[in-house]
Amino acid sequence: MTSVTFIGTANPGFAPYAMEELRRRFPGSSVSGLSGETFRFSPGVSDTEEWLKEIRRDEPVFLRHLFPLDAEVPLTDDPGSTADAIVAYARTLADKVNGRKVAVQVRKAVNSPFPFTSAEARDIAAGVVREAGGEPVLQDADWIVSLYASPKTLLFGCSEPRNNLSDWPGGAIRFRREEGLLSRAAFKLLEAERAFRLPLDRFNNALDLGAAPGGWSSVLLDRGLKVTAVDPAEMDPSLKGHPRLHHLKKNAAELSFPPGTFDLLVCDMSWDPHRTCRLVSALSPALSAGGSGIITLKLMYRKPFQTLRELTEAYSEHFDVRRVKQLFHNREEVTMWVRRKP
């Protein structure tokens, strides 16, 4: 199989870091920006399937989403010619989509002359999929048809969801604001649970550092865990008196716990990441061997790769670092999953 070109997406402001990470990891690759958070990437390999397996096994930190570039056509603001281009590409997929569930995902650059809304363009492609015997769906698809409208061209691709790194358009995962969620920060923990394939309800006893006002604690309580929340600030009144919540109104640096007290540690503090690392490491004996930690690392410096390298080395003294990923709900930060060493 010959090498293909991919369209990649990162968080706003982090496309340069995603591109640089790919350049460093794949020296023969070619990377160029398209618009905003989206860029073009050619890995420069002969076996694309093996490359995709490696990407799935060890995802880059800043790459949020990708799809293979199958076709590219000039873009104007004319609805007729644009619709014709969408129909023409969708028809090339007739054999592939017949009898399969197909999600059509449409995104456009802010400065693109694309004449349709995402929903309108999706309906055009979905109609062709339906005519070919496919079943248009929003999720749980066998194939994802991707359309990205850049400032000058329409870019098309079709791939299995696992090879997109996310089955959400551009990796922009959206959660419903479930009853009981106290803050937007809760979405970070929900996304980490999904991204790391780490069901929170398999744990029993959690330590939440910097817990107030309780966004992460509320998620853990909803999953049935006992939670020790550490923060000098008050927790949300809705959590007061919860039978499985113990709030310690202290700084985490003042505390110690018996060895193996918890099987999960979570931390979403807005501190210098090196300070957070020292604090979490000092409390590591309180986590059982093999217990997990989910930690937000604030990228407060201009050299994120150096920062992540230093933090990974520091955390590795007490933990096995399993994944580091910039989630969609992260901003100037990334999320790390670790496991306590025996």
Statement: residue 1 has pLDDT above 50 = no
CATH for 185-340?
3.40.50.150
Query: What does pLDDT average to over the chain?
Result: 95
Q: Which residues have a catalytic role annotated? A: 298
Do 1-171 and 185-340 have matching folds? no
Please state the domain extents for the chain: 1-171, 185-340
- Average of pLDDT values for 215-243? 95
Candidates 105, 125, 128, 117; CA nearest to 7 is 105
How many angstroms from the chain centroid is the CA of residue 181?
Answer: 20
Q: What's residue 175's pLDDT?
A: 82
**Burial of 77: CB neighbours in 10 Å, binned 0-12, 13-18, 19+:** exposed
Measured torsion, CA atoms of residues 328, 175, 130, 151, in degrees rounded to the nearest 10: -40
How many angstroms from the chain centroid is the CA of residue 10?
Answer: 9
Cβ(261)–Cβ(286) under 8 Å?
A: yes
Angstrom distances, CA of residue 248 to CA of 22, 45, 215, 233: 43, 53, 16, 10
- Residues 88-115: pLDDT tens digits? 999 999 999 999 999 999 999 999 999 9
For β-strands 262-267 and 245-248, DSSP reports them as: unpaired
- CATH fold, domain 1-171, is VC0802-like (3.30.2130)
- Residues 258-308: pLDDT tens digits? 999 999 999 999 889 999 999 999 999 999 999 999 999 999 877 999 999
